[in-house]
Amino acid sequence: MMQYKENRLYDALVVGRAGLDLYPQPVGSKTRDADLFASDVGGSGANIAIAMKRAGGKVGLISALSDDPVGEFVRLRLEIEGIDLQMMQTTYGDERTSLAIAEVRQEDCEVVIYRNNPADLQIVCNEDVKLAITQSQNLIITGTSLIEAESRKQTLKMMVHAQKNDCKVWLDLDYRPWNWPDQKTTRFVYQEAAELTNVLVGNEEEFKILQDDINIQVKQCVASNQVMILKRGKSGCSLFFGKDRLDTGIYSLPALKPYGSGDAFLGNVIMNYMSSRDWQLAIESGSAAAAIVVSKQGCASAMPKMEEIELLQKQIIIKPKTIWS
């Protein structure tokens, strides 16, 4: 069980991308055939922060937005959601807030993300950020914050500072191949960040980037007193900590799209664990949140509130048909 300090200002600070999402309309349309586009705030950092806020958390986002109408759109939406933006930074050069165009369809779903000189990689671990970390229970790092040298340097500084101040560090590997020059580079960076982490989160593909043999990675996490959460898609997830292994399946809801579930899962695992101190309950709550998000249009706007999760959990959880081993 992870121990938390009492009476800290933030339940969590999230480091990562915040951007504009556009969804081709009507629902089910291919981008090329769209009549119009619906807008939403998105990006893994923003999505996780909003998931936690809707679950009752006090959450701040550490990112950067461009000084333009797109950045203003994202900032206003985050403010409406109640995310603390005191650590949000602004770029005034040719950096741009990220844009994603995501089709709302389960089959042949294409997502195009524009990250030309992305603003969110301009984050700085300044004194305000350091102070906020000392006032937070958790620091959540998304893998995209590690892809460029300067952003990686600043992110690792935040992780070191968190460890020195008893702020638990969660690393969502969040691997996207087009972000990285090659797998060798990714592995080196991930392994460096993993050493500063209390909880590692990823799917099988992501953990195999970190380590060829997932069983070896499990043993390494156990030896380092780390929690490892392995997401297995339709087979649920497995959590490893010490001598314990916990498994959960998925909740049965018709899926509208294949993305957004990981952010919903992680945000709700963290919030549930903080209140229950029970990893089994936490991963089950995360699985319910993931099912809800993929059943709706959007990512940030689809993040459920606690009442919606609790209502779904009155259904029977479907155990995974195959167990990873």
pLDDT at 324: 52
Structural domains for the chain? 12-312 (3.40.1190.20)
Q: Answer positive or negative: Cα dihedral of 179, 182, 183, 184.
A: negative
Q: What is the arithmetic mean of pLDDT over 259-270? A: 97
| pLDDT, tens digit, 9 for 90 and up, residues 28-63 | 999 999 999 999 999 999 999 999 999 999 999 999
pLDDT per residue as tens digits for the range 157-173: 999 999 999 999 999 99
16-30, 72-86, 223-237, 304-318, range with the lowest pLDDT: 304-318
Give the sheet arrangement for strand 168-172, strand by strand: 59-62, 10-15, 136-142, 168-172, 199-203, 227-231, 237-241, 244-248
Whether pLDDT at 25 is above 70: yes
Are the C-beta atoms of 263 and 294 separated by less than 8 Å? no
Give the per-residue pLDDT at 223. Answer: 94
User: For residue 320, is pLDDT > 70?
Assistant: no
Q: What is the pLDDT of residue 305?
A: 96
The pTM of the full predicted model, rounded to 2 decimals, is 0.96
Q: Which two tokens stand for residue 28?
A: 């089910």
pLDDT tens-digit profile of 290-311?
999 999 999 999 999 999 999 9
The pLDDT tens digits for 191-200 are 999 999 999 9
pLDDT tens sequence across 174-220: 999 988 999 999 999 999 999 999 999 999 999 999 999 999 999 99
Look at residue 186 in the predicted model and tell me its pLDDT: 96
Q: 């990675």: which residue's tokens?
A: 217
117 vs 138: CA distance, rounded Å: 28
- First vs last C-alpha separation in the chain: 24
Radius of gyration of the chain (CA): 18
Q: What is the pLDDT of residue 257?
A: 96
